[in-house]
Structure 1
Amino acid sequence: MTSEDRARSGFAEFVRAETAGLTRFAYLLTGDRHHAEDLVQVALARVAVRWERLDDPGAYLRRVLYTQAASWWRWRRTRPPERLGASLPDRAGPVDDVDLRLALRSALARLTVRQRAVLVLRYYEDRTEADTAELLGCRVGTVKSQTRHALGRLRVLAPELAEMVGRDPQEVHR
């Protein structure tokens, strides 16, 4: 087996192992399944070209996904916004997972791309502040401040999230 064949085999194995997780990450960044899949394909194409030179292809991929999502977000900002639903319907009964996911998706969509990326990396992927900073190419202090700002913004923009997970919204503000 040649070194080129080993590289192809390693890349194919990497793609099989990482695609589902990367697609979830991209979806949480964009809020759109189809766009997330497109972002992952673009990122994988960039990794394929640099495969043999990358020390940490997973970190590189997440960085590409973040920068591509940010570029897409800037482009979308110049277009009229799409409205998925201005508010969630009131429910008399307990909240189910679907309601919570929809509320969370809507709330995340109202954050900046960087804030969304920090929250997804920190709380969804359970990464440390240092890992998140490295993946996003920023300092740990930036991750901390972006996390604080993003959570504060969620509390203001989507107080229903605190109610849905059984917390008093007034308590969450403290």
Structure 2
Amino acid sequence: MAKSIDDLFCEFVRARSPALLRTAFLLTGDRHLAEDLVQDALARTHRGRRRLDDPGHFEAYTRTAMYHLHVSWWRRRKVVESMPGELADMVQPGSDHARRTDLKLALHEALARLTSRQRAVLVLRFFEDRSEAEAAELLHCSVGTIKSQTSKALARMREVAPDLLSAVLEEA
């Protein structure tokens, strides 16, 4: 017996939500905004699920909706992001886990200091491994804008977290 489109959509949501949340968190820099972004994108996908000719397109449709929603959010409002306070070290200094955690926290803090647009460009280009043309299409801007925003974002990252690059290279 063939599964209904609703059953296939439910399976997709269960299987791919963690990956979608990771991407949304990188885009927004905030767990709650990421959850809202994924929820809104999934709602759009659910509304259009019958128009999709193949259930395999659910993820592409959802990710595109996430990027479009994120762009509309950054155009609509300007939110100043900050990370108040310092996180206490819970792991012995020098351990691999502690080092990776420190690296992740430093990356998160550096990403939080970027504009929403710069963060979106870096996530698409380096986390999602999208080409400049794909990123431009998803963000509804020119390839030149992607190039300039990437350059500005990387320069800002070097400025706010100069030790991050050497730590990443050591980790690799």
TM over 0.5: yes
TM class by shorter-chain length?
Answer: 0.7 to 0.9
Q: Secondary structure of the equivalent of 1:14?
A: helix
Please report the TM-score for the alignment, with normalisation by the length of structure 2.
0.74
Match of 1:99 in 2: 102
Match of 1:13 in 2: 11
Match of 2:148 in 1: 145
Q: Post-superposition, which runs of at least 4 consecutive aligned residues in structure 1 deviate over 6 A?
A: none
Match of 1:172 in 2: none
Q: CA deviation at 1:54?
A: 4.1
Report 1:44-83 matches (<5 A).
44-54=42-52, 56-70=57-71, 71=73, 75=77, 77=79, 82-83=82-83
When residues 10 and 81 of structure 1 are mapped into structure 2, their CA distance, relative to the original with a 3 A threshold, is: closer
Q: CA deviation at 1:73?
A: 8.3
1:100-120 deviation per Cα after TM superposition (whole angstroms, max 9, x unaligned): 111100111111112111111
Report 1:33-48 matches (<5 A).
33-48=31-46
Structure 1 unaligned blocks of 5 or more: 168-174
Are the aligned partners of 2:74 and 2:117 in contact in 1 as well (CA < 8 Å)? no
Q: CA deviation at 1:93?
A: 5.7
Structure 2 unaligned blocks of 5 or more: none
Are the aligned partners of 2:74 and 2:116 in contact in 1 as well (CA < 8 Å)? no
Cα RMSD after superposing both structures? 3.1
Report how many aligned residue pairs link the two structures. Answer: 159
Q: Does 1:119 align with 2:117?
A: no
Report 1:148-159 matches (<5 A).
148-159=151-162
Identity of aligned residues (%): 52
Please report the TM-score for the alignment, with normalisation by the length of structure 1.
0.73
Structure 2 residue identity aligned to 1:156: E
Report 1:80-91 matches (<5 A).
82-85=82-85
